[in-house]
A and B are shown apart, each in its own frame.
Chain A
């Protein structure tokens, strides 16, 4: 029995460590550039790509019977040699159509690692078809259809020069589209709403309404020229970008031209030294942490999700800590001990165990629909029926999570307050200090580490909670951050992206789950990292607090 106990503990430990290691390995391995393999099959198909994973299986008789004669002749002796168990690898071949292919080892006639095989990460900017990874051999770099460099080394050298310029032009078009044109449209929208507001307040056709409409017309007229100008600029930049193309030979013997602007990153991993790989690895991490997602969240970065998570958690903490501390102070220092207070204490402890989804349901019904709906009706009637605050929003998510984590803070604070010896309070009173003075100067400072621990634990819980966010404001893709350079800078009514929701969305809602998998693992790693960090901080604070008390005994 003793051994069973030990075994149970060992199993628990293995579970934790195994899970963390698994996530860490998968997460880190995602961005490491692996070799590109070229697999030639007996039926003449060539697969060029990266191996994502492998598994073993026992092929059924039916599967073998379906093979062409040439394939069967090739496969059967190999299968027999491995005792009937086949290994297969999932090869990411990218390009077009199916991006992933399973290749059984017994069907591989020839396996090579061509030195100039390149991995290209594409983004559909000019060519709508350019989506996901591309694998091929560089043939030529062409400008205006004329070859300016030929042969892989020359092409790569020239590519390094031209690529940055192309990407810069592309980024410029993005800035124009999203920021400059966006600002113009926002201004027009503001005036349109103003006009509607005037119509609602003073009646249709009243003087202020007519005036607002006139102003809107003036602005639209003024903006028309600017619109044309900006669109012309975009057209010019895109035309320029269309001149630069990289010609690739693909594994199936064809040729394909890619626009330089469509290429996010291209490298030939089979040539790379360890240092080069580290550079690519680092570059990808940097992109992951700082860039916007692209290819329907499957590539690129998670910056908006990181930002959303942090901002939401911060607002939540700002809301929950003062109120939690107030409540704990009241329960512990001011309220008279009695049946009511012990009932409150049981209720608060209880609330810590209420499922998070229940808080989400409350948040949706109360904050979004009732409070948000009232705010809309009072302050934003011109925007109705499309809701401003009456939907999932940053502020409602923060409030909901604040309510959810309130018990954590109350309980932690109460314990910290209780741990302050009453002798110290009495000493303080004896010196003539008032109640508030005692609390402020004696009790709170000594309880501070405990309160901080509670706050950090609340942050950790809030940052990892997803279920309520599904109801009150997390979205899979939000074009604008909730904090930006436009007045009033913080936009509490916007939806936001969240790391946890991102995991849920990528893992379960995306069409191409195989391509999304690496991203989910890295996002998971990031989320676990953040939460572990918060927890470790709480544990360290707690032990420091304990040490202080031990010292105080003497």
Chain B
């Protein structure tokens, strides 16, 4: 086709160039997007790990199996591997059966129906209260052994994981190819006589040092005995004896003696005996002295109009669960508030309430042996799994066909439920999930067993087996905020003032030299700062505490004094001096520090009884101890900066118009006097009002404290805030500066009234980014603070931040446990906090850029 110019494209793009271009485009696009996605994964992954925490429990039903035995089960239990179960029927037989198909392995009579009136069971130990006035211990347990080989032919044929019954034994082939043999074993002990009348209620406590037995007989006598076992030297046999008191209930509680109690419950230590009546009356006896029980308190276990239908102790026998006829359950435990008037200084409190809609009466309660879970069976066949501390309903099931419920058992590993209906046995697999954590317990106070009130606690590991992890994030969040606050209190003014000076008053040549030096500080590894803070700075501060605190007012004082002296210089010298200001200030800082050190002993003697740390430890001193000192000094220390600020305003108002040869000096003197007077006045006022800042803001001194961390983290934050703020200030267009100066404003007025407001958003974003860095700082906090997660605003003690907690606990946390996921939640919190801060900073900075550009 003929073209107008007659020129034709002579060369085609060479194929290799075109290919390289396309290839590069594909590579860069895919690589770029992949990188960005990888970065986004960080956040998603954290969420993915945390999410299971919020998932509730789950159950899977197995097909019901026929009930072995038909009468009412007194005890129902399952073995840890969930192949076998046993139940004790009220006709006195113990029936062992397989939970897979309900085949009966053994049916052993344990007692004559007529001879036993009541049964108590904890773990594998059973105590029978007999009609002839004696009690008998027994032990029912699954014995299991693992062998490399077996004689049973049926067992030999098993595939790994399968189960077979051979005689009264159950064999399971483990995945490692070994055989686990289980069988139900029963041990009786000889009855021990308590008294003549039939025993109506019995309970025992299995404290490691002494086993105690409590029993109430038909004639209203309370027997409180201690069981001892000794070796008889004559026969060489073990002799078991019961020793203790027998007291008629009528003498202990005259009001109630007419009707015998319906539940008798002895707590885990054997120190309290609880008597519970069907109508809700609850009496606690102090049984610390087993020879002389006495009435401790009388309470109501259920609201008026309801009746008690079930009662049981939780695991550890500290928390009492009381179920009523409207399907609600209350959890009671002993607390020790300060103002309690009982004989043992403790009182039972209904700490938790478990109710979810209207329900049938609670007929059965069974607590987990390893966690705070318990299961409640209702008369209409509803089974609910509760968490006793978080009050969360973990999961609920209902027996099919409206079958009435008689007994429930939670499997020993919390992974299953065995429910006895009136006709059949029902079996469920349970995944309780992370039941000890709910969104509410993470951030709100939780009433832990034995505590006096709901509180925020982070305590992930404990010494004992039945330790309950306390995973409240608030103390950690609080620690993070506290660290950030003290760090900013120190760092932000310093960094901003320095930035203003650098950008507005420093010669460009010195600026080019000084700025990289401070930026260098930003790249100092935080582990170095943490090490110096913890090993060098903290002990030093402990030794020179007063001087460090006094340096806060002393250094500015010396600087201001220096400024006054400076202004007396003759006018011809001023241009030369202008350049020497920073070196002069460099001299003034150590001078101020020296001054602080010099006056510290005097101030300490005058205001703080000669020993500041002793003055702080006010909690350890009696109210009339002369060494207690007064709060005046503390208020003065705190109020002086405020007073100085007020005095500066006052000077501007009152002395602004002063003229004369030494007007400046007079003004300064006036301001100084006003500041001190105001400070003293304020402190005296607050002291007279009876306010003391010790115990809250000024707590007992701890060498690793917030002051040290604040200053050390200041080192990390100052350079960042400084650099960004200085950039923002320098980015203000030169013509604004020139216009302001040209209009007659002094450089200082220009800086404060023109430059700073223009650059405000940039400065704000600098502070935000500094905040972000302070929030996430890890090593300094780990190394410089002790790290107890306490809620205390004091400057002089420590805290634990989210980041430090992650660094110290995550290496030890079991993968996928609640603790592990909570630490991920902590990381997610940190991520969210910094993300919000940084986004805010970024948005503000963008706006600032646009504005600076428009100007």
Contacts and interface: CB of A to CB of B under 8 A. Distances in A.
B523 A503 contact: no
Given A3-B566, A19-B521, A358-B776, 14 more contacts: A1-B748, A3-B559, A10-B586, A14-B589, A324-B35, A330-B29, A353-B837, A355-B803, A403-B42, A410-B35, A436-B24, A464-B523, A500-B525, A500-B528
B588 interface: yes
Interface stretch (A36-44, A121-129, A277-285, A364-372): A364-372
B594 interface: no
Given A349-B838, A436-B25, A466 B526 contact: yes
A115 B418 CA distance: 85
Contact of A15 (B536, B718, B831): B718
Interface stretch (A87-95, A153-161, A524-532): A524-532
Contacts of A434: 13, 17-18, 20-21
Given A16-B517, A357-B803, A403-B42, A9 B498 contact: yes
Nearest to A5: B501
Contact of A504 (B531, B581, B827): B531
B524 A355 contact: no
B52 interface: no
Nearest to B518: A12
B439 interface: no
Contacts of A344: 36
Interface string B802-834: 010011001100010000000110010011001
B517 A13 contact: yes
A90 to B, nearest CB: 12
Given A8-B501, A436-B21, A330 B32 contact: yes
B776 A12 contact: no
Interface string A419-454: 000000000000000111101100000000000000
A354 B835 contact: yes
Contacts of A362: 42, 45-46, 827
Interface stretch (B213-221, B379-387, B767-775): B767-775
Interface in A323-340: 323-324, 326-331, 333-335
Contacts of A460: 523
Interface in A90-115: none
Majority secondary structure of chain B interface residues (helix, strand, loop or mixed): helix
A23 B532 contact: yes
B489 interface: no
Contacts of A369: 815
B785 to A, nearest CB: 12
Interface residues of A, number: 91
Contact of A358 (B42, B563, B839): B42
Interface string A54-92: 010000000000000000000000000000000000000
A22 B556 CA distance: 24
B25 A326 contact: no
6 contacts: A3-B566, A9-B497, A16-B521, A19-B715, A365-B49, A508-B531
A470 B531 CA distance: 15
Interface string A514-531: 000100100010011001
A410 B519 CA distance: 20
A348 interface: yes
Given A3-B560, A434-B13, A465-B525, A355 B830 contact: yes
Given A329-B28, A346-B842, A355-B830, A19 B518 contact: no
Majority secondary structure of chain A interface residues (helix, strand, loop or mixed): helix
A8 B592 CA distance: 13
B777 interface: yes
Contacts of B559: 3-4, 6-7
A333 to B, nearest CB: 7
Interface in A453-508: 457, 460-461, 463-467, 470-471, 500-501, 503-504, 507-508
A364 B810 contact: yes
Contacts of B776: 353-358
Nearest to A329: B28
Interface string B535-575: 11000000100000000000110011011001000000000
Contacts, number: 297
A539 interface: yes
Given A335-B32, A434-B17, A434-B21, A500 B527 contact: yes
B500 A5 contact: yes
A350 interface: yes
Contacts of B782: 467, 504, 508
Interface of B: 13, 17-18, 20-21, 23-25, 27-29, 31-33, 35-36, 38-42, 45-46, 49, 493-498, 500-502, 505-506, 514, 516-521, 523-528, 530-532, 534-536, 543, 555-556, 559-560, 562-563, 566, 581-582, 584-586, 588-590, 715, 718-719, 722, 748, 752, 769, 772-773, 775-779, 782-783, 803, 806-807, 810-811, 815, 823-824, 827, 830-831, 834-835, 837-839, 842-843
Contact of A8 (B498, B811, B838): B498
B453 to A, nearest CB: 33
B31 A366 contact: no
B477 to A, nearest CB: 14
B501 A6 contact: yes
Contacts of A464: 523-528
Interface core residue of A351, A352, A439 (most chain B CB under 10 Å): A351
A352 B46 CA distance: 17
B84 to A, nearest CB: 29
Interface string A300-311: 000000000000
A527 B528 contact: yes
B42 A7 contact: no
Interface of A: 1-17, 19, 22-23, 55, 322-324, 326-331, 333-335, 344, 346-362, 364-366, 369, 403, 406-407, 410, 434-437, 439-440, 457, 460-461, 463-467, 470-471, 500-501, 503-504, 507-508, 513, 517, 520, 524, 527-528, 531-532, 535, 539
Given A11-B555, A12-B498, A460-B523, A6 B505 contact: yes
A323 B525 CA distance: 25
A440 B28 CA distance: 12
B560 A353 contact: no
A5 B810 contact: no
Contact of B35 (A323, A504, A539): A323
A528 B520 CA distance: 10
B769 A7 contact: no
A358 B531 contact: no
B525 to A, nearest CB: 3
Given A8-B493, A466-B525, A504-B527, A361 B505 contact: no
Contacts of B777: 355
Given A9-B498, A366-B45, A403-B39, A503 B531 contact: yes
Contacts of B811: 470-471
Contact of B20 (A7, A436, A500): A436
Nearest to B836: A350
A489 to B, nearest CB: 28
Contact of A347 (B40, B532, B722): B40
Contact of A334 (B32, B39, B521, B718): B32
A34 to B, nearest CB: 20
B35 A507 contact: no
B24 to A, nearest CB: 4
B560 A4 contact: yes
B831 A354 contact: yes
A330 B33 contact: yes
Contact of A9 (B45, B502, B536): B502
A515 to B, nearest CB: 13
A6 B566 CA distance: 13
Contact of B497 (A5, A346, A457, A517): A5
A455 B506 CA distance: 31
Contacts of B40: 347
B534 A507 contact: yes
Nearest to B41: A366
Nearest to B38: A403
Contacts of A508: 531, 534, 782-783
